[in-house]
Amino acid sequence: MAGPGSGPRTDLLTDTGRKEPAMGVEIRIPSTPDARSDPAAPTDGPGTGGAGPSVRACGAELVGTFVLVLAITTTASAAGLARPLAGAGFGSLAVALVNGLALAVVVASFGHVSGAHVNPAVTVALAAVRRFPARWVPAYVAAQLLGASVAAFVTWGIGGAAARGAPHLGANAVSPGATAGQAFLAEVVATFVLVLVVVAVTTDRRAPEGLAPLLIGAALAVAVFVAGPVDGAAVNPARALGPMFVSGTGADWWVFVAGPLVGGLLGAVTYRAVLSRGAPPETVLARTDA
């Protein structure tokens, strides 16, 4: 993993004249107090005007969530049906890896358009710590839910009735032997990990340069390894609700909404209120000696 200084940092200029790091790309910030340090606030397209997000940004959230959820649900459905790409069928490792790889691709591809939240838990958490305009949350969440639902329909079309049967299009469910309370805790912890990393690498100028997509994707893969055995690891209300809606399932749906939202809020607040104010001991010592 490359460290600081491994590449040129691309900064973004806010309305205050301060430069803030973006996710490896240049993203312009509108002159609104809520978006002052937000690396995801769009300025182009109809409907911006300081009153709402651009159509392009919402479109990027829809498409990005579609790509992410499609990758997850098709892989999970194939694993559930033991359908191989070559050799043995997909297993749990494939599902965890596709989560991370797909998210890394989406963040790298759409981060400069919308911030590539592709997850209501991320959007709500960033808004809670004033790194995303709260008034734009409903439009982003709606786009994410629509993208996830379209992905589930496409998974159904690809996998047929069999994919909608036992695998339920990759919908999350509490595993046999686990309780809804355990699943809720797993979702809280897993989403805490993801959002903690998201906030750390996208809102702190000291974070490694240009590595946000890779680090965020890796964080999701880790989160899936943590919660996967308990409930399939949604870590994303849109990823959970889309396949549930299309497959006609919905048991314990609240676990996959409340858990990620709580975990995301805890992750964002932990970093912004506590960890972001820290510095390595050698840095503090150097400042004292100076």
Distance CA 195, CA 242 (A): 21
Q: How many Cα atoms sit within 13 Å of 148 on the Cβ side?
A: 25
The secondary structure of residue 19, as a DSSP letter, is: E
Who's near 158: CB < 8 A, 6+ residues apart? 74
Q: Is pLDDT of 199 > 90? A: yes
Distance CA 245, CA 204 (A): 37
pLDDT, one tens digit per residue, over 202-259 is 999 888 878 999 999 999 999 999 999 999 999 999 999 999 999 999 889 999 999 9
Are 212 and 24 spatial neighbours (Cβ–Cβ below 8 Å)?
A: yes
pLDDT, one tens digit per residue, over 148-185 is 999 999 999 999 999 998 889 999 999 999 999 999 99
The secondary structure of residue 178, as a DSSP letter, is: -
Give all domains of the chain, ordered by start, each with its CATH number. Answer: 12-277 (1.20.1080.10)
Residue 49 exposed, middle or buried by CB count within 10 Å (0-12, 13-18, 19+): exposed
Considering only CA atoms, which of 247, 243, 232, 252 is closest in space to residue 175?
232
- pLDDT the model gives residue 89: 63
**CA distances (Å), origin 128, targets 34, 197, 200, 274:** 10, 16, 15, 15
Beta-bridge mates of residue 11: 21
pLDDT, one tens digit per residue, over 18-44 is 334 333 333 332 323 333 344 444 444
- pLDDT the model gives residue 85: 61
